[in-house]
Amino acid sequence: MTYRVCFVCTGNICRSPMAEAVFRARVEDAGLDGLVEADSAGTGGWHEGEGADPRTVAVLEENGYGIDHTARQFLPSWFSRLDLVIALDTGHLRALRRLAPTEQDAAKVRLLRSYDPAAGGGDPDVPDPYYGGVDGFEQCLEMVEAASGGLLAAVREEVEGRAA
């Protein structure tokens, strides 16, 4: 049975597609493609149907990641088919937990940076780079990469637990 992860930010054109691309690469490198699926969405539908922000695409490509993305809005009905919903900041975390139809669904929502041991007690959010320059997108990628290893370890544990 496939383990499904969805990354969620505001408009699904910057942070969440970046996190999806990085995590997909980690899943593939770990030999878990076919067992783990990743996608992304936004809490709002302002950019539905659009591609990722060109700065997101550029930063990903400069760092060896591929991306093929079309923005969409997260729907409450998705909870039933998802195992984990990864919020990019605390605002998304609250919004997603409010959308969750059940307590079990709300428990599926976690912050991305909670998987980064170096984030510790610091700011738990991946800041929105949309209104800034390319340096904000590079910082976003650094944070996403730092958390992806811990997230992959947690997902691998879940996948192996299902197989046992």
Q: What is the pLDDT along the chain (164 residues), one digit of tens a residue?
A: 899 999 999 999 999 999 999 999 999 999 999 999 999 999 999 999 999 999 999 999 999 999 999 999 999 999 999 999 999 999 999 999 999 999 999 999 999 999 998 887 788 999 999 999 999 999 999 999 999 999 999 999 999 988 76
Residue spans of the domains in the chain: they are: 3-163
Q: For residues 71-84, b (16+ Cβ closer than 10 Å) or e, as one string?
A: bbebeeebbeebbb
Torsion sign over Cα 142, 58, 15, 19:
negative
Residue from 9, 14, 83, 89 carrying the catalytic annotation: 9
Show the tokens assigned to 142.
């650094």
6 counts as catalytic: no
Superfamily of domain 3-163: Response regulator (3.40.50.2300)
User: Catalytic one among 97, 110, 128, 156?
Assistant: 128
pTM: 0.97
Taking the C-alpha atoms of residue 40 and residue 99, their distance in angstroms, rounded to an integer, is 16
52 with 19: CB under 8 angstroms? no
Cα-trace Rg, the chain: 15
- In single-letter form, the type of residue at position 93 comes to L
Q: Quote the crossing angle between the two packed helices 54-62 and 15-29, to the nearest 10°.
A: 30
Among this protein's residues, is 128 annotated catalytic? yes
15 is catalytic: yes
Say which of 15, 24, 26, 113 is annotated catalytic.
15
For residue 124, give the nearest of 109, 108, 110, 104 by alpha carbon. 110
Give dist(CA 40, CA 8) in Å, integer.
Answer: 6
